[in-house]
């Protein structure tokens, strides 16, 4: 995904089951989205939902999921100096 284009990159940290970020990926195909989740079981459900959408004909080529603890993100991005993209925004959602 990210290596194929230079579109803007937006991230969602703690994406849960992915409903919000998948909707954004559908609405904005010219933006790359990265969904970050630390819990395997929750990420698995997001992957299942994405697969269901793709089986129904909705391609989300602009969406990448990462299983990582958000506390590790500063180290990940610091070590990846070759990451050529600016991340202009990320939603902050506070679950109730």
Question: What does the pLDDT read at residue 75?
Answer: 79
Question: What does the pLDDT read at residue 53?
Answer: 92
CA 52, distance to chain mean position in Å, is 17
Positions of the chain with pLDDT lower than 50, given as ranges? 96
Please report which helix (H) or strand (E) contains residue 27, including its range. Answer: helix 19-27
- Count of CB atoms situated within 10 Å of the CB of 37: 25
- Mapping DSSP to helix (H, G, I), strand (E, B) and coil, where does residue 41 land? helix
Question: What does the pLDDT read at residue 91?
Answer: 59
32-37 sheet: strands from edge to edge: 9-13, 32-37, 63-67
Question: What does the pLDDT read at residue 64?
Answer: 92
**Alpha helix positions (H), the chain:** 19-27, 40-55, 73-79
């Amino acid at each position: 995904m990210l290596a194929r284009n230079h579109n803007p990159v937006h991230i969602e940290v703690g994406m849960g089951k992915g409903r919000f970020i998948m909707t954004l990926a559908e609405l904005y195909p010219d933006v790359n989205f990265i969904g970050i989740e630390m819990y395997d079981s929750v990420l698995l459900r997001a992957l299942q939902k994405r697969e269901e959408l793709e089986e129904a004909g909705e391609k989300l080529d602009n969406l990448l999921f990462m299983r990582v603890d958000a506390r590790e993100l500063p180290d990940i991005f610091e070590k990846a100096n070759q990451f050529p993209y600016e991340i202009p925004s990320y939603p902050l959602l506070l679950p109730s």
